[in-house]
Amino acid sequence: MSDGKQAIQSQFGNAAANYRTSAVHAAGEDLEAMVAAIPLDSTMRVLDAGCGAGHAGVAFAPYVSEVVSFDLTAEMLEQVTILAKERQITNIVTQAGDVESLPFDDSSFDLVISRYSAHHWLHPQAALREFHRVLKPNGHFILGDIMAAEDFAQDTFLQVVEVLRDPSHVRDFRISEWQGMMQDAGFSSEVLLQFEIQLNFLKWTQRIGTPLQNVDMLRTLIAGASDEVKSAFSFPQGRIGDNFNFAIPGAVLLAAR
């Protein structure tokens, strides 16, 4: 396993329970848009790729036959089991593994979903090719994630704050980048929703266990950002206090095989 993937396991293994109880991950207009993206029925088998604590899979489970919650981190899969029990969901199974090399047969799923995971994938093109392979003809992939702006300055700023908060971060891709990669993997795609993810600075850093020196660097970086960047992310203008709310861009994309 690469150093990058070991870093992901270590980072999220230690913080797994925080993601089960996170309000940002438990609900949202993006999750509602994902569930409403295509007609669901009781015959469908769904793969939740990079499932984290399992909120997306739990949202889909009442409408389909089975959800396979798949993640690199064993501690996250333990949280999926706890969450499913809390929600009285019985048609979720968990399996550990890497989205870049899925242990499933060709054409074995009707739908692949992924929410707030893809910005940690080292080789998203490989994951997309795997999703295309395991989907049945006319199957779909639904992606919900943080999206970088097309504006270069905002893009750079977002990547820097993400890495300072969580060193396992790889990249928040732009919508145009995702659609290009989807096309290369054999999908056609459309944007279903663009939205803002509302965050609280302390909860955001505490959830992943950001070291205090990095929290200080984040405050310094945000305080020194241009007015345009502060406006784009809804950072407070003027003095940055110890705690504040802000927003980062997200989107839901639907890809058809």
DSSP 174: B
Checking if the pLDDT of 17 tops 80, the result is no
Secondary structure class of 92 (helix, strand, coil): strand
pLDDT score for 15 = 66
pLDDT score for 197 = 95
Hey, how many other C-beta atoms are within 10 angstroms of the C-beta on 85? 11
Checking if the pLDDT of 6 tops 70, the result is no
Token couple for 178? 């995702």
pTM for the whole thing? 0.92
Q: How many CA atoms lie within 13 A of 252 on its CB side?
A: 20
Calculate the dihedral angle through the C-alpha atoms of 5, 10, 13, 19, rounding to the nearest 10 degrees: -80
pLDDT score for 102 = 98
pLDDT digits (tens, 9 = 90+) for 166-222: 999 999 999 999 999 999 999 999 999 999 999 999 999 998 899 999 999 999 999
Checking if the pLDDT of 165 tops 90, the result is yes
Residue-range domains of the chain with CATH: 3-148+169-198+249-256 (3.40.50.150)
